[in-house]
Every structure is written in C-alpha cells, then in structure tokens.
Amino acid sequence: MMNCPLRSRTFLMWGWLLILTAGLSGCSSGLAAGPVPFIDLQERTPLPIAAPAEVVHLRMGVAAILSPQGTMTSYSALAEYLSRKLGRPVDLVQRRTYAEFNELVKRGEVELAFICTNSYVVGAQEFGMELLLAPEIGGESVYYSQLIVPADSSAQSMADLRGKVFAFTDPMSFTGHIYPTYLLQQLGETPETFFRRTFYTYSHDRAIEAVANGVADGAAVDSLVLDYALQRDPEMAERLRIIHTSEAFGIPPVVVPPTLPPRQKAQLRELLLNMDEEREGQIVLRQLGIDRFIEIEDAAYDGVRRIVQMTGTRE
C-alpha cells in the first residue's frame, strides 16, 4: 500500500519526460530548416524618432510691446533659431494686454518671455517672476520713454497737450502709461483732468502710427520701438517730433516663470548668451535690432519701481 503513490509519481515523471523529448525534437527539426542568424551585440541602432505628438514644444511668449503683426515679423526668426538649437518646436505665444501675458507666465504656460519693465516689476512682486537675461542695444541695456507729437504740432512739452487727445499703449506699460502719468502728476494733473480724451492702442507701434496719422495729438512710447519703427519707415520721421525724453531706465527683460526647472533655465540662458558668437545667431540678433543678450541684476529696475511708487499706479 505504501508503494502505490511512489509508482504513480514515477509514471507521471516518465510521461512528462516523453512529452518534453518530443517537443525538443520538433524544435530542433524546425531550427535545422535554415541557418541561425548572427546578432552582433556591439552594433547599436538609433532609437526611432519620436512622433510629432510626443515632442514637447517650447512656448515663447512676447508681450504686446509690438502689434501682433510686428511681433511675428520680429520674433519668428528667433523662434526658428531656438527650435533648431533645442531640437524641438518653439511656439510663439501672444496676448492682447500685459496683464493677460503676466497670467501666462504666472501659470507656467510660457517657458520663455519677453516683457516690458513694469510687467517684470509687478510679476516679480506678485509671484516671483524670474529675470533670465536682458538685450543689449547700442552698447547699453537701458531705454527711455519718449513723448511724441505730430510734426506740425506746436506742442513743446506735456503742458502744451492740455485738452488734446492722447494715446496710451497699455495700462501696465511703464513708458506708455505710467511715465506720462508721472509727467502729469508733476503738473498737478491726472489723465482724466488734463486730456480731452484718451485711448489705449495695446502696442507701441500702433501708438506711433496713431500720432503719425493724426489720430492722436500725442503719445509716450518705448524709445527702442520708436527707433526700430523709424528705421523700417524713414518717412515716418517726417511726420513725428519728439518733445520729451525721460531719464534712462532698465531695458525690458527676458524672464522665465519661477516653476521652470533649473536645467531648462540654464539651457535657455546659455543659448541666448552665446547667440552673438556664431553667424546664424548674429543674423537673428540683427533682425531684432539687438547686439547681444547679457545678464542683468534686479536692481536695474529700481528706477521703474520709484516712478511706480510715486504715481501709485501699477497698471
């Protein structure tokens, strides 16, 4: 009685051996049908290229310092340059107002942004917007607010524009709204008490056009944009006059959101800093009217903060 289980186990073992032997003989006959392929484990093949949907796009934002048309013309070459260097698509993102654009940076919906000075001052205070770099133009990293009037205007200063129509650029613009408000404050006035009518153009080039075309009797604009506009259209210089130039202020910077990973921030900084050292980058910089990108300290914007505090106007 004790040997029965043993005999059963022995029988089952031999049964499995017969099945395994038959299987191996079948496999060997199949392999013998052709030569065994040689696989060189030292040879490496490239990974398949990622499908377009898998490539992460870089979103580069440009505030409405220029009109949408002007921004596309000026910054599309930079977007293409960065795309080639990074090996991934770069999308150009715009919004109508500076406040809307700051929201994009705050939410991390753009990774690289070109903004106005007061947008940086506000963003740095509200959510930690970070300086990356700043452009250097004509050997300087400063700009000015310039008060312009039609060439045939008799105005010689802001005081002469009382009762006139004035074009502001954006509520958050330093050169196009806050600084001219500061000039009025020195006269004991406000835009509401001084001008007959005001309106917003939401870009500096459009404010320049409004004055050149006689739609507005005056405007205060970014000196860099004015220089660029006159270079593109020298005839416009015959239709405008500059009647006031402010003190120098820190130039509009390049910023990143505080949530941007340090490695990506360092990569973008290095790319922009080295643009002027190669021919391709020099061509793009020339199209933008920029000498090169440089590092800049937050203290460069203390002059803007001083005027903002004096006027009590952030936007």
Segment 14-39 mean pLDDT: 43
Is the pLDDT assigned to residue 41 strictly greater than 50? no
pLDDT value for 169: 95
Q: Is 141 helix (H, G, I), strand (E, B) or coil?
A: coil
Tell which wins on pLDDT, 41 or 231.
231
Q: What topology is assigned to 57-141+251-311 in CATH? A: D-Maltodextrin-Binding Protein; domain 2 (3.40.190)
Residue 310 — very low, low, confident or very high, per pLDDT cuts 50/70/90? very high
Instruction: Give the Cα separation of 117 and 137 in Å (integer).
Output: 16
Q: How many CB atoms lie within 10 A of CB 95?
A: 18
Residue 151 — very low, low, confident or very high, per pLDDT cuts 50/70/90? very high
Q: Which of 25-39, 145-159, 269-283 has the lowest mean pLDDT?
A: 25-39
Q: What topology is assigned to 145-246 in CATH? A: D-Maltodextrin-Binding Protein; domain 2 (3.40.190)
* DSSP 8-state symbol, 238: G
Residues in the chain: 315
pLDDT value for 96: 84
86 contacts: CB under 8 Å, gap ≥ 6: 58, 267, 271
Cα 243 to chain centroid distance, Å, stands at 32
**For the chain, domain boundaries:** 57-141+251-311, 145-246
Instruction: Give the Cα separation of 27 and 85 in Å (integer).
Output: 53
Tell me phi and psi for residue 278, to 5 degrees.
Answer: -135, 155
Q: Which of 56-65, 168-177, 180-189, 220-229 has the lowest mean pLDDT?
A: 56-65
N-terminal to C-terminal alpha carbon distance within the chain: 100
Segment 27-42 mean pLDDT: 44
Q: pLDDT tens for residues 56-75?
A: 899 999 886 655 555 566 78
Pseudo-torsion of CA 137, 140, 145, 150, nearest 10°? -50
Answer yes or no: same fold for 57-141+251-311 and 145-246.
yes
Instruction: Give the Cα separation of 145 and 189 in Å (integer).
Output: 19
Residues 187 and 279 sit within 8 Å (Cβ to Cβ)? no
175 contacts: CB under 8 Å, gap ≥ 6: 116, 117, 143, 144, 145, 146, 169, 204, 220, 221, 222, 223, 246, 249
Is the pLDDT assigned to residue 157 strictly greater than 70? yes
pLDDT value for 70: 52
Residues 305 and 173 sit within 8 Å (Cβ to Cβ)? no
Q: pLDDT tens for residues 101-124?
A: 999 999 999 999 999 999 999 999
> How far apart, in Å, are the Cα atoms of 231 and each of 34, 100, 144, 146, 225?
75, 30, 17, 16, 10
β 292-294/130-136 pair status: antiparallel
pLDDT value for 54: 58
Is the pLDDT assigned to residue 183 strictly greater than 80? yes
Which runs of consecutive H residues, i.e. helices, occur in 87-133?
A: 98-106, 117-127
Radius of gyration of the chain (CA): 33
Is the pLDDT assigned to residue 287 strictly greater than 80? yes
Residue 315 — very low, low, confident or very high, per pLDDT cuts 50/70/90? low
Tokens of 206: 């459009």
Q: Which of 29-38, 187-196, 200-209, 300-309 has the lowest mean pLDDT?
A: 29-38
pLDDT value for 16: 41
Residue 26 — very low, low, confident or very high, per pLDDT cuts 50/70/90? very low
SS3 content of the chain, % helix, strand, coil (to 5): 50, 20, 35
Is the pLDDT assigned to residue 53 strictly greater than 70? no
Q: Is 18 helix (H, G, I), strand (E, B) or coil?
A: helix
Torsion sign (Cα): 137, 113, 260, 92: negative
Q: Calculate ∠ Cα 194-197-200, nearest 5°.
A: 110
Task: Give percent of the chain above pLDDT 70.
Answer: 79
- Read off the pTM: 0.79
Which runs of consecutive H residues, i.e. helices, occur in 87-178?
A: 98-106, 117-127
Segment 247-266 mean pLDDT: 96
Segment 199-210 mean pLDDT: 94
pLDDT value for 94: 87
